[in-house]
Amino acid sequence: MNPADNSPLWIRGARVIDPSAKRDEAKGDIFALDGKFVDQLSAADQAKARVIDGAGLLVAPGFVDLNCRLGEPGLTPRETIRTGTRAAAAGGFTTVVTMPDSLPAADNVGTIQLLREICTRDAAVRVLPTGTLTKGHEGKALAPLGTMKKAGVVAVTDTTSGVQNNEIMRRALEYAAMFDLVVLDHCQDSSMTEGGQMHEGAWSLRLGLRGLPRAAEEVVVSSDCLLAELTKARIHLQHLSSGGSADIVRRAKAKQLAVTAEVSALHLLLTDAALAHYGTSLKTNPPLREEADRLALIAALVDGTIDAICSDHSPCTATEKDCEFDLAPFGAATLETAFAAAHTALVTGGHADLALLIARLTHGPAKALGLSAGTLKAGALADLVLLDPKAAWTPTSADLSSKSGNNPLVGRALTGRVRATFVGGRQAFGA
């Protein structure tokens, strides 16, 4: 991003999709002035504006990612704010919500303030911090949610640790509701997954790997929905992987509970069959499941049961992943390929149109957390992405900005590519 470039911006003749305004124009113009969208530029501003020819391209609000890890503080061998946010910009994301499982954990004001200072210095996109739900995300004692809210967290979560005690989870939801904080939950009953390496099914049996059953996720999704009904608190279910989980959320929404959900782009594209050759870059938590689950998640995304597509960016070093499958850590670095993966799965796959895909990357996640993002409306921050939906490409390691070496889509043919990303009217990615 070039901080010196604050000239007016005029994107001319692109297809415009803005789900927040129910706007879908085959050809339109977008204007930005002083970092915000405007309905029109004056003649004087037009004369000095940077004009981008949008012919053949699509302009949309900048994507909003509700689930990523950026390495800092403490995990800089995997990622840094500088590299991670540049990867986000390359993926079309202008707002990212980063998880608190750092070293030290973001369970106190000092750590959160440190993260905000690093972001002020190094971030290429907007980074919104979360805090842990319990101290050290250990699931035992509640973290100081009120003081963390004052320090700037937008939500609270124990990430992949998850709160395993329903009484603590109930009290945490009640406590979070006092401060109007959304609770994000990684749904997994750890007593059912110890030693698990991939989805429990035919492929885990064939590969000789211990499995993680769907029920381990679905049990917690069920209990979270029951607790949301009991406490009236807002809960967002992270990276669902099971068709059964989608059915539970669908019933919860029919009861008008304050429950939202997301799915990762990788889970829309691939299944556990992709692990046939023990590729550790595809070892994720939650795991890739079966084709029936993939199709059920797509159906839930299309009918609105699932509100958002996330990157679930979990960077690891190449060395960490270069080992036996059982010993490799969970995680995939996916910020830069999330749009292409979702576009390939949904649009190229014939399951949804571009408008729905854009909605689940912009308005859907922004609404789930109540964020001021994901819109092209006049007065909003000028965060936008220019896309080439027809572009066919195959990611290579040289294409990627992330510091990590575990993007599982390197070498895989995809369709749909980000051409440019603007944050506050200033270019963060693209020529």
Q: Which residues have a catalytic role annotated?
A: 312
DSSP secondary structure letter of residue 294? H
Give the number of residues written for the chain. Answer: 431
Which residue reads 């995997």 in tokens? 78
What do you get for the CA distance between the two ends of the chain, in Å?
11
Name, in order, each residue with C-beta under 8 angstroms of 137's C-beta and a sequence gap of 6 or more: 100, 101, 105, 107, 157, 158, 159, 161
Please state whether the peptide bond connecting residue 213 to the residue before it is cis, i.e. omega within 30 degrees of 0: no
Residue with tokens 């020819």: 53
Rg, Å, the chain Cα set: 21
Assigned token pair, 307: 């509100």
Residue type, 265: A
Helix H or strand E encompassing 313: none
CA angle 66, 300, 268 (to 5 degrees): 65
Number of helices (H) and strands (E) in the chain: give both, helices first: 14, 18
How many whole angstroms separate alpha carbon 323 and alpha carbon 319? 8
What is the residue whose two structure tokens read 């004001």? 109
- Give the pair of three-digit tokens for residue 237: 């279910």
Burial pattern 383-415, b for ≥16 Cβ within 10 A else e, equals bbbbbbbebeeebeeeebbbbbbbbbbbebebb
**What angle in degrees, to the nearest 10, is found between the helix axes of 166-178 and 214-231?**
50
Q: Measured between alpha carbons, how far is 65 from 286 in angstroms, rounded to an integer?
A: 17
| CA 182 to chain CA centroid, nearest Å | 16
Whether the Cβ atoms of residue 283 and residue 320 lie closer than 8 Å to each other = no
Cis preceding linkage at 286, omega within 30? yes
Can you give 124-167 as a three-state secondary structure string?
Answer: CCEEEECECCEHHHCCCCECCHHHHHHHCCCEEECHHHCCCCHH
For the chain, give the longest Cα–Cα distance. Answer: 68
Cα atoms in the Cβ-side hemisphere of radius 13 Å centred on 153: 32
Tell me the two tokens of residue 364: 């859907």
